[in-house]
Amino acid sequence: MLLDKPVGFTSNQALQTVTRLLNACKAGHSGSLDPIATGLLPLFFGEATKLTQFLLNADKRYWTVFKLGVSTTTYDSEGEVTATRPVTASARDIEKTLVAFRGEIEQIPPMYSAIKHQGEALYKLARAGVEVEREPRKVTVHEIRMLGFQDDLLTLEISCTKGTYIRTLAHDLGEALGCGAHVVQLRRLATGDIPIDRAVTLEQLEALATPAERARLLQPVDSV
């Protein structure tokens, strides 16, 4: 099933909700989304859970809004503000700076992430006030396109490889501009060749009366 994940849900919470609505047993998802994010979250049920890895490796496309001038602990609006700086960059300055973020780049994963350090998730260490050194990771940004810039809010569309942290992209771009930045909105528009307009919402699922009716919205694996 292709779900349009609502804001405020972790990927696992969204999966558990749909699993309950379908009265399913075995379930999994492909490609986590942060609670602040919405958009395409592929869900797999039954024997199809063996195929989650195929979509994990697919490229992703996002629509996002960065708030310039404010840095946070999590690199998004759910974190605590760590610094505020004036924004002096123009749209032209931003366009020039974005050039360095296209193609193969290195990212240092954020502390608030599920990556493990000596068996412990980084976000758990971060919540305990512990920061550890993280190795840079190579990712590829196929395209990063500015859609708008107004009132220190920068709207972008980004196509990238798996493992790209949009939050880190916001943080690094903000540092490159000398003002800091964080993510305030994030929406996944596509995974591989699968667009968001093929997805269903939790509201659509909940509006159906029975698990059998909801199961009709499941898509065969070969269509994904």
Residue 73: its pLDDT value, please?
A: 94
| 104-138 per-position pLDDT tens digit | 999 998 888 777 777 787 778 878 888 888 889 99
Q: Which helix (H) or strand (E) holds 42?
A: strand 37-45
102: tokens are: 């296209």
Contact 3, 38 (CB under 8 A): no
- Residue 222: pLDDT band with limits 50, 70, 90: low
Tell me whether residue 219 is exposed, middle or buried, using C-beta atoms within 10 angstroms of its C-beta: 0 to 12, 13 to 18, 19 or more. middle
Domain ranges of the chain: 2-57+192-223, 60-191
The alpha carbon of 124 is separated from its chain's Cα centroid by a whole number of angstroms, namely: 19
Residue 162: its pLDDT value, please?
A: 93
Query: What residue type is assigned to position 191 of the chain?
Result: T
Contact 29, 44 (CB under 8 A): yes
Q: Quote the CA–CA distance of 114 and 123 in Å, as a whole number.
A: 6
Residue 128: its pLDDT value, please?
A: 81
Pick the closest to residue 182 from 89, 66, 90, 83 (CA basis).
66
Q: Under CATH, which number does the domain 60-191 receive? A: 3.30.2350.10
Would you say residue 224 has pLDDT above 70?
Answer: no
pTM of the full structure: 0.91
Contact 55, 166 (CB under 8 A): no
Tell me if domain 2-57+192-223 and domain 60-191 are identical in fold. yes
What is the signed CA dihedral for 98, 102, 108, 112, rounded to 10 degrees? 70
The conformational region for residue 219 under phi > 0 = left, psi -120 to 50 = alpha, else beta, is beta
Catalytic status, residue 172: no
| Residue 146 φ then ψ, to 5° | -80, 125
Would you say residue 221 has pLDDT above 70?
Answer: no
How long, in residues, is the chain? 224
**Which spans in the chain are helix H?**
11-22, 52-56, 91-98, 122-127, 166-177, 202-207, 211-215
165: tokens are: 């942290």
Q: Under CATH, which number does the domain 2-57+192-223 receive? A: 3.30.2350.10
Catalytic residue selected from 4, 34, 76, 172: 34
| 49-69 per-position pLDDT tens digit | 887 877 888 999 999 999 999
